[in-house]
Amino acid sequence: MDIKNGITHSHDVRVNQQYADWIVDVKKRYRNTQIKAAIRVNSEQLYFNWCLGRDLVLLRAEERWGKGVVEQVSLDLRAEFPNATGFSPRNLWFMRQWFLFYCSDAHFTNLSAQLKSGERKLNQAGSQLERQKLKQVDSEIQFPPFFGLVPWMHHVLIIQKCETVNEALFYIKKTIADSLSRSELESCIRADLYHTAGAAVTNFAETLPDAQGKLAQDLFKGNYDFGFVQLAEDHNEYALEDALEKRMTRFLLELGQGWAFVGRQKELIISGKSRRIDLLFYHIRLRCYVVLELKAKPFEPEFAGKLNFYVNAIDAYLRDPSDNPTIGLLVCKGMDKTDVHLSFQGITTPMGVATTDNARAKEIAAHLPTAEELQTQISIAEKEYKRG
């Protein structure tokens, strides 16, 4: 036997192109089977975690068997299954927290009402009635099947960082749609994507086909956090471009999934004149170019005309027939939505406006001490140290 082009050749078989194509298909089908099996295993494990968390809640385990019951359950399970992972006390507490997080919300069920109605029965009945009650509650509090498509530690991160079930479901669906790693998911949560995604002021509904318009709206955020670059307060657009280009990897993470950088100050020769676009991207999911213009000041109506010009220029000189219509995105320091809507009237090219104001950062900063207050605290500490 010998190996050639990934195929082990036997002297008793004639390998031709038809065989090669078929064996490639067989391998692909087997890989898909492996993936499906891995998903099935993950889903079954998550369902177990859900049920164990449910039991700890509905059986009122700490009240029945003491505050150390979770640690005891951990010891018993690890003794029985020494090679299994995931039975640490900390992980068991996560299971309990996971169940409570969703089941305390109206999207799943009113858990407190169920506990109140069944509390007397749970305290008086034997183990058979308890199992019957658990089965009944389990039928009412369904384990969502799509939860099984997300790894366990992603779920743990989500319930630790999210304030509402709607927010958590947003990140679960985002993880599934974009196959997010845990670090990518954490970046999305840190960027507060739940509140900013799809919030750009656009004319996509009027200028794009329904499916593409909805996708584009979902992908464009209303606010982009450029806090990862250090700039003077009075910086201009060129300085911002330069800083973003130097941190392009981080910039792409802030933009979201599917963005590919084409170039900065992209030159187009139009009627013998050189025209330069601030930043040009190609969006893989939208299958179109995206013209990104930066402004270090609030929105002005004339910005829309310039962006419209650049979008039309890309369509005329760079866009391939297989590409979807080019989209324009203006990112500025602030905007009046009425100004934007009026500026977009009569424009048939798809465009959007977003801001760079980081509202959450400002809110946090408002609760932090000023430089003067910090200096005062340092001085007081130094005096107390010398006296000591």
Tens digits of per-residue pLDDT, 46-102?
999 999 999 998 888 888 888 899 999 999 999 999 998 899 999 999 999 999 998
Nearest to 23 by CA among 38, 35, 8, 37: 8
pLDDT at 155: 96
Last residue of a domain, one of 129, 162, 190: 190
Look at residue 319 and tell me if it is in a domain: yes
Q: Are residues 175 and 211 in the same domain?
A: no
pLDDT at 377: 62
Q: Are residues 336 and 229 in the same domain?
A: yes
Look at residue 369 and tell me if it is in a domain: no
pLDDT at 388: 55
Look at residue 371 and tell me if it is in a domain: no
pLDDT at 312: 96
Look at residue 291 and tell me if it is in a domain: yes
3-state helix, strand, coil in the chain (%, to 5): 60, 15, 30
Compute the distance between CA of residue 167 and CA of residue 156 in angstroms, rounded to an integer: 14
Quick one: tokens of 209?
Answer: 């086909």
Quick one: tokens of 66?
Answer: 């003491």
pLDDT in tens, 150-193: 999 999 999 999 999 889 999 999 899 888 889 889 988 987 88
End-to-end CA distance of the chain: 84
Q: Quick check: 122 pLDDT over 50? A: no
Look at residue 210 and tell me if it is in a domain: yes
Q: Are residues 155 and 143 in the same domain?
A: no
Q: Are residues 119 and 89 in the same domain?
A: yes
pLDDT at 108: 52
Q: Are residues 253 and 218 in the same domain?
A: yes
Q: Quick check: 368 pLDDT over 80? A: no
Q: Quick check: 314 pLDDT over 90? A: yes
Q: Quick check: 357 pLDDT over 80? A: no
DSSP state of 369: P
Q: Are residues 165 and 266 in the same domain?
A: no
Q: What are the Cα distances from residue 341, in Å, to 201, 214, 311, 345?
A: 8, 18, 18, 7
Look at residue 376 and tell me if it is in a domain: no
Q: Are residues 352 and 207 in the same domain?
A: yes
Amino acid at 351: M
Reported as half-sphere exposure (CB side, CA atoms, 13 A), residue 177 has a value of: 13
Average pLDDT of every residue of the chain? 82
Look at residue 373 and tell me if it is in a domain: no
Residue 165 in contact with residue 141, Cβ under 8 Å? Answer: no
pLDDT at 114: 45
Q: Are residues 157 and 213 in the same domain?
A: no
Give the residue, 128 or 288, on which the prediction is more confident: 288
User: How many domains would you assign to the chain?
Assistant: 3
Residue 280 in contact with residue 263, Cβ under 8 Å? Answer: yes
Nearest to 319 by CA among 341, 345, 286, 346: 286
Look at residue 91 and tell me if it is in a domain: yes
Q: Are residues 321 and 241 in the same domain?
A: yes
Question: Residue 155's domain spans which residues?
Answer: 151-190
DSSP state of 291: E
Q: What is the side-by-side strand order in the sheet with 288-294?
A: 201-202, 351-355, 327-332, 288-294, 273-283, 259-270
Q: Are residues 114 and 216 in the same domain?
A: no
Q: Are residues 121 and 246 in the same domain?
A: no
Lowest-pLDDT range, 19-28, 119-128, 313-322, 372-381? 119-128
pLDDT in tens, 201-230: 999 999 999 999 999 998 899 988 888 888
Compute the distance between CA of residue 330 and CA of residue 294 in angstroms, rounded to an integer: 6
Q: Are residues 218 and 92 in the same domain?
A: no
pLDDT in tens, 255-283: 988 899 999 999 999 999 999 999 999 99
Q: Quick check: 141 pLDDT over 80? A: no
Compute the distance between CA of residue 376 and CA of residue 107 in angstroms, rounded to an integer: 50
Question: Tell me, what CATH number does 245's domain have?
Answer: 3.40.1350.10
